[in-house]
Structure 1
Amino acid sequence: MNDENTRDLLRTLDLHPVSESAGPEAERFSGPSQYKPDGRVFGGQVLAQCIVAATRTVDPGRFIHSMHGYFLRAGDVAESIDFGVDRLRDGGSFSARRVQAYQKGKPIMSMIASFQLDQPGYEHAAPMPDDVPDPEDLPDIAELLGRVNLPHVTDWVLKRPFDYRPVEAPLYGRPAPERSSLQRIWFRGQGQLPGDRGLHAAILAYASDFSLLEPTLRKAGLTWLTPGLRMASIDHAMWFHRPVRADEWMLYVQESPSAENGRGLGLGRIYQRDGALLATVGQQGVVRIPEV
């Protein structure tokens, strides 16, 4: 457990207001970027920061239930990020916000998020798979990557502020033995996190971006080391079904229903350990290799 990784994440999400007003219906915030070896800002970081910025402008009794975002440009880890929040609507039960993330005066991400008061209603949920090993019975990612001599990979993966235990073998070495897109991962935040519900939702969004395109590689018999492979996220959508504790074990069940035109689609469901469905996630990204 590396508490410094967790402290770095919390510092990154602690946005500060910008004094200049962005207009009568808008507010502005700024935040740092985390280091990443390739110099590009991690998409999950910007997702989480956008959620934090939007949450700061909403009544404390309303909580995020959905977000839809587009990654417009690669971010630069050497630069801070500015966030402009537009108050689109505050209704009787729902609030809508648009968040634009900027670097060097250009948007790098655009998101719309919706918040709602907790209300009673009919419930059902897709069940959690019952054939998954417990996280305590699986090696963590540090142990698995200890066998891979790729410092630029391990430097980034091992600095993630999460205990991360894949059920299927990760694709940093050989391709998957079977061309199935199904992938399951146990994960939780390192250490105990503050109790703020909105912060836990933002941290879950951060973690949701780690590996959602990986099932497209698994299905195609590719790995992260396939020569000439180019991958980049295009968009990200997330629905929060129930309150989250991001420092408790969660199971991320992922699959890829389609890949076409140099794009791959990943879908995921995130479960609490007791089987409660916490969130559903979708992401499309560029998936290109030279010979295809």
Structure 2
Amino acid sequence: MTDDVTTSAPDPVTGMPARSSARRGDPVAELLAALDLTDTGARTSEDIFTGPSQWTAHGRVFGGQVLAQSIVAADRTVDADRAAHSLHGYFLRPGDTSLPITFSVDRIHDGRSFSTRRTQAYQKGMPIFSMISSFQTDGPGIDHQIDMPADVPDPETLPSIADQLGHIDHPIAQNWAYARPFDIRHIGTPIYLRADENRVEHQAIWMRAIAPLPDNPNLHRAALAYASDYALLEPVFRRHGIAWMTPGLSSASLDHAMWWHRPGRADEWFLYLQESPSAQGGRGLATGRMYSQSGVLMATIAQEGMVRVPR
């Protein structure tokens, strides 16, 4: 949702902006199809892959999708015993959901325990996303983590997006409620329709895929990367009294970094703690930590985004 969003004047009844019609399908099946890249460079021995674009209501590719596809493409060129541990990427242009995406991977370096890859995502011959990622063989070493907060409510006790928005007969509300492959449950009041009066710069959400995913650790890392782009700018919004439906709001992810620390499943509940340490110049920085329900720190994320509202 933080890929590129511009709101129009809200509907006077629902408060939602008038947009394209709703679309229903199997969100998890579509996620898996998007991550099942085609090796289009095999005949020429080049590391080139192609993947579909998922439909979105605003016609721009979801940032988490191209992020996850890029790490899948890079992973295809690395030895099986090396797992992704970090990525750093820049969103360069809005992606067009009506077009497939081509991913070109450069094998920058292969060392004794680390491999580095550069992935460029293209549409119409123009780069829309550029990423450097690193992979490492598993091994023993120092180990510590910041503990997960102990006083968080159980996810099953919290309302889902479908509970929050499913009753609204509007295509955007219906797509947010039913077309995402992840169940997202805010601890506290969400800011889909109304701003947070408390003006805090942090939030926490529970997430999990809405259906089981295959038992492939690489797929789960990619799925966590996909999910990491959901809601990450919301702490910036909260601090400044902004809701997703604020008229004239324009927001877009500018860059994204992620570090995978420990294995975890994207189809089991995980806690996504998010906060914004700073916003300035029309840009807001947000960081996040993903914990398994048992308290294992799986990943850390950072993202800067453009956030503009009319004065």
Which TM-score band applies after superposition, normalised by the shorter structure?
A: over 0.9
| Consecutive unaligned residues in structure 1, runs of 5 or more | none
Q: Which moved more, 1:141-150 or 1:246-255?
A: 141-150
- What is the distance in 2 between the residues matched to 1:3 and 1:245? 23
Contact 1:36 1:156 in 2 (8 A): no
- What is the distance in 2 between the residues matched to 1:157 and 1:51? 27
- What is the distance in 2 between the residues matched to 1:104 and 1:68? 23
**Cα displacement (A) at 1:174:** 2.0
Alignment-mate amino acid for residue 164 of structure 1: I
Q: 1:231 aligns with which of 241, 245, 251?
A: 251
Contact 1:37 1:156 in 2 (8 A): no
Q: In the alignment, is residue 260 of structure 1 matched against residue 280 of structure 2?
A: yes
Q: TM-score w.r.t. structure 2 length?
A: 0.89
Measured at CA, do residues 219 and 21 of structure 1 come closer, stay the same or move farther in structure 2, by a change above 3 Å? Answer: farther
2:35 match = 13
- What is the distance in 1 between the residues matched to 2:169 and 2:198? 24
Q: Which moved more, 1:213-222 or 1:12-21?
A: 12-21
Q: In the alignment, is residue 65 of structure 1 matched against residue 88 of structure 2?
A: no
Q: 1:90 aligns with which of 103, 110, 129?
A: 110
Q: 1:247 aligns with which of 267, 277, 284?
A: 267
SS in 2 for 1:107: strand
2:12 match = none
Q: In the alignment, is residue 191 of structure 1 matched against residue 211 of structure 2?
A: yes
SS in 1 for 2:149: coil
Q: Which moved more, 1:67-76 or 1:217-226?
A: 217-226
Contact 1:148 1:172 in 2 (8 A): no
Task: Pick 1 or 2: higher relative contact order, CA cutoff 8 A, min separation 6.
Answer: 2
SS in 2 for 1:206: helix
Alignment-mate amino acid for residue 178 of structure 1: N
SS in 2 for 1:41: coil
Q: Please list the CA deviations of residues 196-224 of structure 1 after superposition, one character each: whole Å capped at 9, or x if unmatched.
A: 11110000000000110011010111111
**Cα displacement (A) at 1:99:** 0.1
Q: In the alignment, is residue 155 of structure 1 matched against residue 175 of structure 2?
A: yes
1:39 match = 59
- What is the distance in 2 between the residues matched to 1:277 and 1:19? 36
Q: In the alignment, is residue 277 of structure 1 matched against residue 297 of structure 2?
A: yes
Spell out the pairing of 1:198-237 with structure 2 (5 A cutoff).
198-237=218-257
**Cα displacement (A) at 1:11:** 0.5
SS in 1 for 2:26: helix
2:129 match = 109
Contact 1:3 1:191 in 2 (8 A): no
SS in 1 for 2:47: strand
- What is the distance in 1 between the residues matched to 2:83 and 2:30? 24
**Cα displacement (A) at 1:179:** 1.0
**Cα displacement (A) at 1:3:** 8.6
Alignment-mate amino acid for residue 236 of structure 1: H
Contact 2:161 2:176 in 1 (8 A): no
**Cα displacement (A) at 1:151:** 2.5
**Cα displacement (A) at 1:51:** 0.5
Q: 1:145 aligns with which of 129, 140, 165?
A: 165
Q: Please list the CA deviations of residues 149-197 of structure 1 after superposition, one character each: whole Å capped at 9, or x if unmatched.
A: 5422431452111121111211122211311111110011122111111
Q: Please list the CA deviations of residues 221-269 of structure 1 after superposition, one character each: whole Å capped at 9, or x if unmatched.
A: 1111112110000000000000121111100000111000000111000
Q: Which moved more, 1:11-20 or 1:112-121?
A: 11-20
Measured at CA, do residues 156 and 78 of structure 1 come closer, stay the same or move farther in structure 2, by a change above 3 Å? Answer: farther
- What is the distance in 2 between the residues matched to 1:154 and 1:68? 32
SS in 2 for 1:254: strand
Q: TM-score w.r.t. structure 1 length?
A: 0.95
**Cα displacement (A) at 1:90:** 0.5
SS in 1 for 2:86: strand
Q: Which moved more, 1:180-189 or 1:145-154?
A: 145-154
Measured at CA, do residues 149 and 289 of structure 1 come closer, stay the same or move farther in structure 2, by a change above 3 Å? Answer: farther
- What is the distance in 1 between the residues matched to 2:282 and 2:39? 39
1:290 match = 310
- What is the distance in 2 between the residues matched to 1:73 and 1:158? 27
Alignment-mate amino acid for residue 31 of structure 2: L
Contact 2:83 2:137 in 1 (8 A): yes
Alignment-mate amino acid for residue 257 of structure 1: P
